Amino acid sequence: MAGEISFFELGVADPERARTFYAGLFGWSFEPGTTEGGGYAIRTPGIPGGVHGGDAGARPYVFFRVDDLPAAIARVRELGGTVADEAGGDDEATAARFGRFRMCQDDQGSPFGLHQPPPDA
């Protein structure tokens, strides 16, 4: 179903410290990820996530599920929002494992992400 939260990403300065903290707090398990700056895929009892390092903003990112990423990107722009130029999650290894992602801002500047899960999800 489109519009539900499908993925979260934690941007942190140090992914090792984040792994220790969140594993201790919530009992989450972590697998090595494919991001630059170090990172992990996070397995939770609910929504899957990730953590990446080197993020000066050090904030969480929420991704909403879409069935057609290009159409959702076009709709964001039509509604006055903006879409990051980078094609985050569009490389084949990431897309096959996690799906495709794109960071956006709504028409008031609030950040959010779009996530099209892989076909087998």
pLDDT in tens, 84-116: 886 555 555 556 678 899 999 998 888 899 999
**92: domain range?**
5-116
**What CATH number has the domain bearing residue 10?**
3.10.180.10
User: Which residues of the chain fall short of a pLDDT of 50?
Assistant: none
Instruction: Please give the model's pTM, rounded to 2 decimal places.
Output: 0.75
**Nearest C-alpha neighbor of 114 from the set 67, 47, 44:** 67
Question: What pLDDT sits at residue 86?
Answer: 62
Residue 80's identity, in one-letter code, is G
**Nearest C-alpha neighbor of 66 from the set 107, 109, 101:** 101
Per the structure, the count of domains in the chain is: 1
Q: How far is CA 83 from CA 90, 107, 109, 112, in A?
A: 14, 11, 11, 10
| 19 found inside a domain | yes
Extract the runs of DSSP E, i.e. beta strands, from the chain. Answer: 5-11, 29-32, 39-43, 49-52, 60-65, 82-83, 100-105, 111-116
Cα separation, 48 vs 70, whole angstroms: 22
| 47 found inside a domain | yes
